[in-house]
Amino acid sequence: MIKSYKKLFENNKNWVKEINSQNPNFFEKLAQGQSPQFLWIGCSDSRVPANELTGTAQGDIFVHRNIANMVIHTDMSMLSVLDYSINVLGVKHIMVVGHYGCGGVNAAMGNKQVGLIDNWLCNIKDVYRLYEAELDAIEDQVKRSNRLVELNVQEQVFNLTKTSIVQNAWANGRSLLVHGIIYDIHDGLLKDLNITVGDTSQIDPVYKFDVDLNTQQ
Ligand code: ZN
């Protein structure tokens, strides 16, 4: 584990050297712009870095991270990332990536006050309440936490599909898939939850917006 602040800059120089030795035009090309195909909505946890664990390079994934990979409809930061990535960058896939052993999810399962974050974690408690019978029936604490991590990802996928941003993209004939994924910090593997959504057919009617003609192209 790196503890020295200066070491980060040393590492950065070595990293640039390494890339330049393999591809001298890499940074020049990258500076011309980005057109990533993927939006990653993941947890802020330091053990879940989008590019490293997918073996992708800079420019490949547009990233938004917050505690417990939440999609909260009043979160201007998340909404701005979502709108920009779909309507300007033209991403084709949105991935909500949760991870087992998530500190945010574990804290939400407990009753201790942590601080301001309690208000953020309340959104995970709402997910717990939706699946209370299933979750309460799981005696093992770790297994119950893992299941809540999965259900939380599923609900955040649904939360994305409830936004007018995603619904308008579909109404405009855009190919956009929203995926739910789990990262296992114990073995480093990604698991697709197979709950991919690509249209409004699974959305509860109360969340379906009329198509906004102003946004049709
Ligand atoms: Zn986490």
Q: CATH number of the domain that 111 lies in?
A: 3.40.1050.10
* pLDDT higher than threshold 50 for residue 186: yes
Number of domains in the chain: 2
Confidence band for 74, pLDDT divided at 50, 70 and 90: very high
* Residue 145 domain-assigned (yes or no): yes
Q: Is 174 a catalytic residue?
A: no
The residue segments making up the domain with residue 45 are 34-201
Residues 14 and 59 in one domain: no
Q: What percent of the chain has pLDDT over 70?
A: 97
Q: What is the pLDDT of residue 1?
A: 87
Q: What is the pLDDT of residue 2?
A: 87
Residues 39 and 25 in one domain: no
Mean pLDDT taken over the chain: 96
* Residue 122 domain-assigned (yes or no): yes
* Residue 206 domain-assigned (yes or no): no
Residues 41 and 145 in one domain: yes
Q: Is 60 a catalytic residue?
A: no
Residues 25 and 48 in one domain: no
Q: Indicate whether this model's pTM tops 0.85.
A: yes
Q: Is 147 a catalytic residue?
A: no
Q: What percent of the chain has pLDDT over 90?
A: 95
Q: Is 204 a catalytic residue?
A: no
Residues 6 and 93 in one domain: no
Confidence band for 217, pLDDT divided at 50, 70 and 90: very low
55 alpha carbon – ligand 1 mean position (Å): 20
Q: Residues 146-172: pLDDT tens digits?
A: 999 999 999 999 999 999 999 999 999
Residues, Cβ < 5 Å to ion ligand 1: 43, 45, 102, 104
Could you say which of 60, 64, 83, 102 is catalytic?
102
CB-based burial, 102-116: b 16+ in 10 Å, e otherwise:
bbbbbbbbeeeeeee
Rg (alpha carbons) of the chain, rounded to whole number: 19
Residues 53 and 19 in one domain: no
Backbone angles phi, psi at 162, to 5 degrees: -80, -10
Tell me the C-alpha to C-alpha distance, in Å, between residue 31 and each of 19, 21, 27, 59: 14, 18, 6, 10
Residues 75 and 150 in one domain: yes
